[in-house]
Amino acid sequence: MQTLGLRHVALNVKNAQISKNFYTELFGMTLEWEPDPKNMYLTSQGQDNLALHENPNLQLDLSQQSLDHFGFAMRSPADVDELYEKAVARGTIIVAKPKQHRDGAYSFYMRDPDGYVVQLIYHPPIVKTCT
């Protein structure tokens, strides 16, 4: 049996509204369900689900973060560059600037409002399955 791929991530965040704004403004995600102001579920055209669970006492040690990163697939290297420019203009912390990888992928890394590392990646095999 094959899965349909990684389609759901749940994050503990310090402020659900700030995180919601980050993911909707930069990635175009939309609110799918908000059972209360501290729990939100976002989606990218119904293809995935990102849960944001507010914990104002959240203490993340960014030097010891157990989640390395998670990523959003992009349709082209130009889309990666466009989102990079948007993130920089927004004042987002950039972890690694856009670069070409040996396998043909192209990506950059940034931090979300709680310090989680998010990769924006053009990866040809993923794009082939989405067209």
Query: pLDDT tens-digit profile of 18-68?
Result: 999 999 999 999 999 999 999 999 999 888 899 999 998 888 777 776 687
pLDDT at residue 2, rounded to an integer: 62
Question: Which domains does the chain show, CATH number per domain?
Answer: 1-57 (3.10.180.10), 68-131 (3.10.180.10)
Query: pLDDT tens-digit profile of 63-116?
Result: 776 687 899 989 899 999 999 999 999 999 999 999 998 888 899 999 999 999
**Angstrom distance (rounded) from CA 71 to CA 82:** 16
Contacts (Cβ under 8 Å, ≥6 apart) of 131: none
Name the E strands within the chain. 8-13, 30-36, 39-43, 49-54, 70-73, 94-100, 106-111, 117-122
pLDDT at residue 87, rounded to an integer: 97
What's the whole-number mean pLDDT along residues 113-123?
A: 91
Q: Specify whether the CB–CB gap between 71 and 119 falls below 8 A.
A: yes
Question: In the sheet where 30-36 sits, what is the strand order?
Answer: 8-13, 49-54, 39-43, 30-36
